[in-house]
A and B are shown apart, each in its own frame.
Chain A
């Protein structure tokens, strides 16, 4: 059974600080996705990582994928309050993107 674990589950950080969220998964996959969810809202696609060593950056967020270690990271640089949300990684292990298995989620709170 595929397991996708994130840590930390909850992260409180000050504005301007850097931090990394980790996503570990148990079964081989070379497709990993990051989503953002605001409370009670839908899931917004942030990054799609499709190969080993893939790195993508958008604004203050940067995601990377190491398929050999079965690990993805989401790095936050100089956090701002607007980044407060829950971040999910999701893995497609079918190879056909027919379903995603989501991680446990990391609730990020950025304080002034």
Chain B
């Protein structure tokens, strides 16, 4: 069965650079969620989109922005990167809100040097 696709899988950036992470949800899933997981930490919710509109917002820094496109894929844009942004970034998708579960992608490991 098709799963959530994230690209790139690994990304290395310097401080103050920008990064763009991409997420392609499972086909026919219209809801996308972004989470950040620091080393040894639990995943922290960043932001979610339903039908291309932002549905909820968590602890997302102002330096980050995200959007969902007409084909339902989503991009997380990160600017002025800091060392503390080094983490695993997960995208999850679901077939609408208020559904049983969120299906997680493999993650993008971002390292900021």
Contact = CB atoms under 8 A, between A and B. Distances in A.
> Do they bind each other?
yes
Interface of A: 33, 35, 40-45, 48, 50, 88, 94-105
A43 B55 CA distance: 22
Contacts of A41: 106-107
A99 B57 CA distance: 8
Given A96-B97, A99-B56, A100-B35, 4 more contacts: A41-B107, A45-B102, A99-B48, A99-B58
Given A42-B104, A42-B105, A45-B103, A97 B42 contact: no
B68 interface: no
B42 A48 contact: no
The 6 A-B residue pairs with the shortest CB-CB distance, nearest first, are A98-B56, A102-B42, A43-B104, A99-B45, A96-B97, A98-B55
Contacts of A50: 100
A15 B105 CA distance: 30
6 contacts: A33-B101, A97-B98, A98-B56, A98-B97, A100-B43, A102-B44
Contacts of B109: 40
- Interface residue SS majority, chain B: strand
Interface in B64-113: 88, 90, 92, 94, 97-107, 109
A104 B94 CA distance: 23
A83 to B, nearest CB: 19
A45 B42 contact: no
B43 A102 contact: yes
Contact of A97 (B58, B94, B104, B107): B94
B101 A96 contact: no
Most B CB atoms within 10 A — which of A48, A94, A97? A97
A10 B95 CA distance: 34
B42 A95 contact: no
A43 B90 contact: yes
A96 B100 contact: no
